[in-house]
Amino acid sequence: MLRKLLAAAGVVMVVFFVIGTVGVIQEEREDMVYSQDAILELSDIRCENIGDQYKEQEAADGYSFYRIVWTLENESIYEAYAGSLYFYYSSADESSYDDVYMPEADSGRDVFYYSNEPVIPAGRTTDIESIVGVKDGVERIRVEYRLNYEDDYENMELNLQE
């Protein structure tokens, strides 16, 4: 009887040991990084008024085109892909909805077309360019952006007069 009781206790201990080991392994798996995402950092941003012509398109009456250049550093060992980048431009004045627009040459582009294309090699810096139409007299615009998939969206105001 004692022998059966000790054998049963041993089986129970082995079962608890196996369950505990599986739990530890599973917990470590949840913390593992499965993706090979780049780590992009913004090192500079520049705005330039390029007039009322862009790619043979004329700006709407009372608007000018601005080139916004984002200098990004890829601080990882993986290539960065276009699908991780997000830029949305709008008016810094929340009461005005028509201060900023995307030219047709850019707004009609399929957003997913380039999502699997590497745009920034590992360990390199590059410039990403956006073109926006801005109503004449507007001094600031707001941009909502995300550089990496895991990042929260961030907002900043760009001063166009500098």
Instruction: Look up the pTM and report it.
Output: 0.69
Q: Say whether pLDDT at 110 is over 50.
A: no
Residue-wise pLDDT for 128-137, tens only, equals 888 899 999 9
Report pLDDT digits (tens) over 10-26: 544 544 454 555 454 44
| pLDDT tops 70 at residue 37 | no
Write the DSSP string, 87-137. Answer: EEEEESSTT-SSSEE--HHHHTS-TTTTTTSEEE-TT-EEEEEEEEEEETT
- Contact status, residue 51 vs residue 64, Cβ threshold 8 Å: yes
Residue 97 has a pLDDT of: 79
Paired residues of 44 in beta bridges: 71
In whole angstroms, give the CA distance from residue 66 to residue 130.
Answer: 8
Q: What is the Cα 10 distance to its own chain's centre?
A: 54
